[in-house]
Amino acid sequence: MKALVVLLAVLLLVWLILGSVRRRGKQVRRPDPAAAQPPPAPAIEGMVECAHCGVHLPASLALASNGAGYCSAAHRDAGPRAS
């Protein structure tokens, strides 16, 4: 009877080890879909220079007036810098 219990314990241990090895093998072979695709490239946005102070800023943030870009409403109201 003792030999039967030891044999069952050994078989259970072998079964658990083989199951663990199989699961690890499947995980290694299966590629991660999120890692396979590179993230999309960010859109490149043009820069404009403030007509008053000369600061460069993204075109989407600039305030436009009379064909010129400005960094703030105060600079837009002041107009282009005097040279």
Place of tokens 């109201």: 77
- Out of 6-20, 24-38, 68-82, pick the least confident: 24-38
The SS3 call for residue 58 is strand
Structural domain total, the chain: 2
Is residue 6 domain-shared with residue 29, that is, in the same domain? yes
Q: Is residue 39 part of a domain?
A: no
| Beta-carbon contacts of residue 47 (< 8 Å; ≥ 6 apart) | 56, 57, 58, 59
- Asked whether the predicted pLDDT for residue 22 surpasses 60, the reply is yes
Mean residue pLDDT of the chain comes to 86
Domain range spanning residue 26?
Answer: 2-33
Q: Is residue 41 part of a domain?
A: no
For residue 58, list its beta bridge partners.
47
- Asked whether the predicted pLDDT for residue 68 surpasses 80, the reply is yes
Planar angle of CA 27, 30, 36, nearest 5 degrees: 125
- Asked whether the predicted pLDDT for residue 5 surpasses 70, the reply is yes
Residues 26-37 have pLDDT tens digits of: 665 566 666 678
